[in-house]
Amino acid sequence: MFPISANNANNDIGDVRRFSGLVSGLDTEAIVAKLMQAERLPLNKLLQQKQWLNWQRDAYREVNRSLLDVRTKLADLRLAGTFLAQSAQSSRNDLFSVTATGSALPGQHTVEVMQLAQPARVIGAQIQGAKATTLLTDLNDASGNPLKEGTYTFTIEVSDVDTGTLLQSTITIDHTSGTRTIKDVVDAINAQKVAVPDGNGGTIEKPLGVKAMFDATTERVVLQTDLSGAYSITIEDDPASSASLAQALGIATSNNPATNKPYADQVQIGQNAEVIVDGVTVTARDNRLTVFGLNLDLKRAEPGTTVTVTALPATDQLVDKIKNFVETVNTLIEDLNRRLSEPRYRDYPPLTDEQKRAMTERQIEQWEERARSGLLARDMTVDRIVSDLRMALVTPVEMGDGRTISLSEIGITTGSYWEKGKLILDENKLKEALLSRPEDVSALFSQKLGSDAAPFDTNHPLHAQKGIGVRLYEVLSGAMDRLVQKAGRDGIIGLDQSSLGTQLKSLDGRIDTFERRLKDIEERYWRQFTAMEKAIQRANMQSAWLMQQFMNGS
């Protein structure tokens, strides 16, 4: 064996000069890799532990999202208004549509639509041959003369007929360049704002409340108030203006001396809606109004026609809502019980990257399906959620008059032991309870007598005074807070102070420390093998020298 130059037989990694075994004939790379594989076993355990905790944290957060979804779906069960819902039917849907609020008195009501609310309008006189792009100098004034170039001003007033309140604005159009058009005037009106008191001694700007347009079909400028109701629009030219632009546009509401009629074709004062409900006359600025708990949407007036409206408890709507409650709770409890009873396959730890490289995607999928099983098996945090939910559902509600009421009295019972707390609904019994005991059903879900004490403590004596909807909201909120303390929130990176977040941070520190240690160990192995290679090299050189001496002596 001949001496090998170290410069040709080494690889530099870090500060260690490595011999690849060309002197000794050993596969040094493979030997070191095997040695390091054994050294990495504790690190692999840490990495697997970290992966497990990450999966477990994700599982807790999935549960938290489920609880939030359930709380959102069932939130209105804690509101008394939910159980006061009523339906209303009209015999003349062509005159108005109607719905009932919870305050509507059950039974029949009469409604007569006297008039609809209308906005105020000014429909201008026809400007023959005009377009939106027609120049203002192509218009004629009241005397038939073309408008001259200059600055035109006119005022628009919007008055409240009932109160006398007035909004006034001056429109100024600079037509000295001769390029302004009818569209420019319309745009100026639509952009106009007025200063009104802000209640603190100052003013704020608000829109004038008038919409203008040019109708190309009828060749007219039309203005209308944004709101319906008893308003009026007055449009007058400024006497100091270069010309009477409002008159030329046919929108001035003052009388033309020649005809003793307004320059505008029509000046319509807005009107309030008027209905007679149960013999009482009611006016409103809008065609949508609420009277005696009835929401009316007026469509057409027909004085002299009395329409019958029937208000009834919305039993079917409440049945659907409570059915949804039963289904939602059952789905949640079933999911939590599944997580609690999932088997834990301890022989299937999370795969390392090295293990994954040796497996197919299908093998990885099958392995991780078992590795992820049982993340929350027999978990105390989740088990408490199930226990609190059951207590909230089965504990009778103590009403203010000393009576109690439970879900079983309205047709909702708990299944057998094997069904693990699943709720079973008797729909006929529920409908009967809604019709015969609506106030008791409302109290069962929405009563809040004890809501100020121990909001998340199911063992507190005042807990029994809370309706089931209130209990569920509080139990779910408390469970969500505990899950956040356990596993943090979605989207939190670097600021996770939860229990699992702290454990993961500690693991990351241990992993970093162990990886630095492995690097030191690997470098030590290479130094040892390099020293061995050099020693063998020196021995070979000495052996060769002695052999040479013997040969020379002979």
What is the band of 315 on the pLDDT scale with cuts at 50, 70, 90? confident
If one counts every other C-beta atom within 10 angstroms of the C-beta of residue 188, the result is: 14
Reading the block at residue 84, the tokens are 């006061």
Buried b (16+ CB within 10 A) or exposed e, 471-496: bbbbbbebbbeebbebbbeeeeeeeb
The share of the chain scoring above pLDDT 70, in percent, equals 92
Q: Which residue has the higher pLDDT, 162 or 495?
A: 162
- Residue 9, pLDDT above cutoff 60: no
Q: For residue 8, what pLDDT is reported?
A: 39
Helices marked H in 420-498: 427-436, 438-446, 468-487
Least confident segment among 81-95, 312-326, 429-443, 483-497: 483-497
Bridge-partner residues for 281, per DSSP? 276
Give me the residue label for tokens 């159980």: 83
What is the band of 17 on the pLDDT scale with cuts at 50, 70, 90? low
At 224-283, the pLDDT tens digits run 999 999 999 999 998 877 679 999 999 999 999 888 999 999 999 999 999 999 999 999
What is the band of 464 on the pLDDT scale with cuts at 50, 70, 90? confident
At 370-391, the pLDDT tens digits run 999 999 999 999 999 999 999 9
CA distance 222 to 325: 54
At 110-133, the pLDDT tens digits run 999 999 999 999 999 999 999 999
Which contacts qualify for 167-176: CB closer than 8 Å, 24 or more apart? 167/194, 167/196, 167/208, 167/209, 168/194, 169/193, 169/194, 169/208, 170/238, 173/136, 173/245, 175/136, 175/137, 175/147, 175/149, 175/150, 175/151, 175/242, 176/149, 176/150, 176/151
Q: For residue 451, what pLDDT is reported?
A: 57
Q: What ranges do the domains of the chain cover?
A: 6-39+498-553, 63-81+317-487, 86-117+272-313, 119-268
What is the band of 218 on the pLDDT scale with cuts at 50, 70, 90? very high
CA distance 235 to 259: 18
* Strands 210-215, 220-228: pairing kind: antiparallel
Q: For residue 309, what pLDDT is reported?
A: 95
Average pLDDT over residues 48-71: 95
Average pLDDT over residues 422-433: 94
DSSP structure class, residue 378: T
Q: For residue 459, what pLDDT is reported?
A: 66
Q: Which residue has the higher pLDDT, 26 or 3?
A: 26
- Residue 4, pLDDT above cutoff 50: no
What is the band of 1 on the pLDDT scale with cuts at 50, 70, 90? very low
Average pLDDT over residues 306-316: 90
Q: Helix or strand or coil: residue 282?
A: strand
Positive or negative torsion for Cα 210, 216, 221, 224: negative
Q: For residue 441, what pLDDT is reported?
A: 94
Q: For residue 5, what pLDDT is reported?
A: 36
CA distance 28 to 293: 90
What stretch of H or E contains 26? none
DSSP structure class, residue 396: P
What is the band of 295 on the pLDDT scale with cuts at 50, 70, 90? very high
For residues 44, 48, 53, 54, the Cα torsion angle rounded to the nearest 10 degrees is 100
- Residue 10, pLDDT above cutoff 70: no
Reading the block at residue 502, the tokens are 């702290």
